[in-house]
Amino acid sequence: MLLNFQFGLGTLLLLLLVLVVASFRILREYERGVVFMLGRFWKVKGPGLVIIIPGIQQMVRVDLRVVTMDVPEQDVISHDNVSVKVNAIVFFRVVEPDKAIIQVANFLQATSQLAQTTLRAVLGKHELDEMLAEREKLNMDIQKILDAQTDAWGIKVTNVEIKHVDLNESMVRAIARQAEAERERRAKIIHAEGEKQASATLLEAAQMLAQAPQAMQLRYLQTLTQIAGDRSSTIVFPLPMDLLNQLTGRKGV
């Protein structure tokens, strides 16, 4: 009988030891524990040592670090009816652990699904040129929408980055032709502006030479000097009558 008593006492002590060990939880600095008592939310504990009453209290660990989530490639039809494939990265973290556990069944999966639908909805409102040129603005729009919708889950979306906007080969060639046409248009405009400025300068020079006949004669002689320096066997050039009259000593009529 004494042996049975000792055996029962030993079993009881072992059971108590197991319960004591099972009641201790250690939470890291970036972890919090959402504690439920008899199925009802009690409080958020941590970090450090946390004591849980086995069988009465349950604890769910929540990581508060920033989560980097890849948004799978999505088929998006832009506002100008161009089909593209877009993927992105979402950065978010849990700021209210109790809401992240109580308000949504799986906040990671829910955030991923919401990010996919938001990406398609936002980009579908913009044209292809805006997707390629205004990516920073689109990132901000998606981030604001996600942050507002996940606020009820205790989640803070800190950043959204669109990674790639993939186009089919025909669209790539069309964009290349458009860019080439744009470069040609700018080149023609620059050339026309240069011609305009050159014409204005020539007109100003002609007016100045017309007011000073001697300067016109000097310019004519300078031109003859330049022509004489060329490797030409025969040079035919007109001779102004006023210059000829000065050379022969005759006055113009």
Mean pLDDT by 10 residues, the chain (253 residues): 60 73 87 93 91 89 95 89 90 95 93 94 89 90 95 95 81 64 79 83 72 63 65 58 56 47
Q: Are 91 and 159 in contact (CB under 8 A)?
A: yes
How confident is the model at residue 234, as a pLDDT?
Answer: 60
CB 146 within 8 A of CB 160: yes
Question: pTM for the whole thing?
Answer: 0.65
Per-residue burial over 99-129, b = 16 or more CB atoms within 10 Å of its CB, e = otherwise: bbbeebeebeebbbebbbebbeebbeebebe
Domain edges within the chain:
21-64, 67-170
Give residue 253's pLDDT.
44
Instruction: Give the per-residue pLDDT at 217.
Output: 61
CATH of domain 67-170: 3.30.479.30
